[in-house]
A and B are shown apart, each in its own frame.
Chain A
Amino acid sequence: MSERENILELKNVVYSFHTYGGEVKAVRDVSYEVRQGEILGIVGESGCGKSVTAQCILRLNPEPPGFFEGGEILYKGQDVLKMSKKEIRKIRGREIGFVFQDPMTSLNPTMRVGAQIEEVFLGRTDVSKKEVKERAMDIMRLVGISDVEKRYKQYPHELSGGMKQRVMIAIALVSRPSVIICDEPTTSLDVTIEAQILDLLLELREKLGTSIIMITHDLGVISRLCDRVVVMYGGKIVEKGEIGEIFYNTAHPYTKGLMQSIAKLDTAKGEKLKPIEGTPPDLFAPPKGCPFAARCEYCMDVCEQLPPEAYTVADDHTTFCWLQHEMAPETDLKKATAKKGEV
Chain B
Amino acid sequence: MENENKQPLVQVKDLCKYFQINRHATLKAVDHVSFDIHKGETVGLVGESGCGKSTTGRCMIRLYEPTEGEVIYDGKDITKLSKEEQKKFCQKVQMIFQNPYASLNPRMTVKEIVGEGIKHHGLADKDVDQKVEELLETVGLNKDHMSRFPHEFSGGQRQRIGIARALSVDPEFIICDEPISALDVSVQAQVINMLKELQETRGLTYLFIAHDLSVVKYISDRVVVMYLGTIVETAETEELYANPMHPYTKALLSAIPEADPDKAKNNKRIPIKGEIPSPINPKEGCRFAGRCQYATERCHQETPQAREVKPGHVVACHLMD
Contacts and interface: CB of A to CB of B under 8 A. Distances in A.
A277 B190 contact: yes
Interface residues of B, number: 44
A33 to B, nearest CB: 20
Contacts of B212: 263
Interface string A249-274: 00000000111011111010100111
A195 B269 contact: yes
Contacts of B214: 220, 262-265, 267
Given A258-B185, A265-B214, A279 B275 contact: no
Interface in B204-225: 211-215, 217-219
Binding site secondary structure of chain B = helix
Contacts of B211: 190-191
Interface stretch (B5-13, B76-84, B89-97, B251-259): B251-259
A52 B210 CA distance: 30
Interface in A134-183: 146, 160-163
B121 to A, nearest CB: 32
A274 B241 CA distance: 23
B192 A259 contact: no
Contact of B275 (A193, A273, A275): A193
B181 to A, nearest CB: 10
Contacts of B264: 220, 223-224
B265 interface: yes
B26 interface: no
A218 interface: yes
A192 B241 contact: no
Contacts of A27: none
Given A223-B257, A223-B259, A265 B241 contact: yes
A11 interface: no
Given A45-B184, A273-B218, A275-B193, A223 B272 contact: no
Given A195-B255, A195-B257, A224 B217 contact: no
A264 B259 contact: yes
B272 A45 contact: no
A80 B27 CA distance: 51
Interface in B256-291: 256-265, 267, 269, 271-272, 274-276
A269 B186 contact: no
Nearest to A220: B257
B86 interface: no
A226 B38 CA distance: 43
A46 interface: yes
Contacts of B260: 223, 247, 264
Contacts of B258: 220, 223-224, 264-265
Interface of A: 45-46, 146, 160-163, 190-196, 198-199, 217-224, 226, 243-244, 247, 257-259, 261-265, 267, 269, 272-277, 279
- Closest A-B pairs by Cβ, 3 of them: A220-B257, A275-B189, A219-B259
